[in-house]
Amino acid sequence: MIQIHEDQLHQEQNREKDHKHAHEAGKNLALAFSLNFLFCIIELIGGFWTNSIAILSDALHDFGDSLSLGMAWYFQKVSKRKPDSKYTYGYKRFSTLSALLNSVVLLVGSVIVLYECILRLLNPVETNAKGMFVLSIVGVLVNGAAVFRLKKGSSLNERVISLHLLEDVLGWFAVLIGSVVMMFAHVPVLDPILSIGISFYILYHVYQNLKSVFRIILQAKPSDVDETAIRESLLNLPKVHDLHDLHLWTMDSEYMVLTVHLVVDGSMQKEEQKALRATAHQILKSMDINHSTIEIEYDSEHCEWCEDETEVPV
């Protein structure tokens, strides 16, 4: 009875912790969305004022970010819903869907910006360097505040959006340096060159983000989970002779899921199996596995799933 009570208490603490994280993530995204959307309007006006393709391209990028933040905010709220008959694992992967859509928005926006930059390279135009200087300072401050807020979060959604905004901060630093140079030297071509550099930097990180998103969608083993340590811990349990059919994946980069078959001594009784399963669950929870499904098999049994694990030569 004491063991069951402790398990229930641990599960309740995990639910409270997940709810707190989800609530904080929603607040962080809401603030970042408000700051980013307000600055987008200022940036668009400033881009036409200064005639700067770097600022206008960043305005387009920021509008994409605002759309991404809005989606992230909405999907973060959806991801808090409990499992139901339609989504038996819950809605946590909706935040991953948001990260995928955000990356696609950035990809499309960057391609459009690169096209405009090539046109400006072929036909450079004058820009208002002093106006660019003022806007770049505001850009660093606004986007920096949003990054600082989202850095406190731990979800993939928050990390992707935080990375977007950090790219904006770095981009504005580049515009700041470029505007100072153009105030003292006549180099209008520097504006599209800066924009191209920012776009390629963004595209590189979009590629990295998409890799992470597709690893989750394709249920690859999470890179921050030590499978070897999990195997050793389970094999060290009393009367466990072997294990197989171990699968690890994550719902949203934070919520880890595991299934495994434990092969035990044929003399193990039902009560011993219950105690073994409870101990295994505790070990897995201590290793940050949020949801585990454990099947107990006797060593004399034949498992039909073992054949599926055999590698087929290509």
- Asked whether residue 16 carries a pLDDT value surpassing 80, the answer given is no
CB within 8 A of 168, min separation 6: which ones?
58, 61, 62, 65, 139, 143
Instruction: Choose among 227, 228, 314, 238: nearest CA to 276.
Output: 238
DSSP state of 306: G
pLDDT band at 262 (very low <50, low <70, confident <90, very high): very high
What pTM did the predictor assign? 0.65
Entry field: residues in the chain: 314
Percentage of residues of the chain with pLDDT beyond 70: 75
CATH no. of 2-217: 1.20.1510.10
- Residue 297: phi and psi, rounded to 5, are -130, 145
Look at residue 309 and give its three-state secondary structure: helix
User: Which amino acid is present at 312?
Assistant: V
The winner for highest mean pLDDT among 115-124, 148-157, 292-301 is 292-301
The residue ranges of every structural domain in the chain are 2-217, 227-309
Percentage helix, strand, coil for the chain under 3-state DSSP, each rounded to 5: 70, 10, 25
Q: What is the pLDDT of residue 139?
A: 80
Mean pLDDT over each residue of the chain, to the nearest integer: 77
CA distance 45 to 126: 17
**Which residues face 37 on adjacent strands?**
none
Contact criterion met (CB below 8 Å) for 264 and 275: no
| Number of Cβ atoms within 10 Å of the Cβ of 88 | 7
pLDDT single digits (tens) 269-304: 889 999 999 999 999 999 999 999 999 998 877 766
Look at residue 230 and give its three-state secondary structure: helix
Q: Give Cα 101 distance to the centre of its chain.
A: 12
pLDDT band at 77 (very low <50, low <70, confident <90, very high): confident
CATH number for domain 227-309, candidates 3.30.70.1350, 1.10.1060.10, 3.40.50.880, 3.20.20.150:
3.30.70.1350
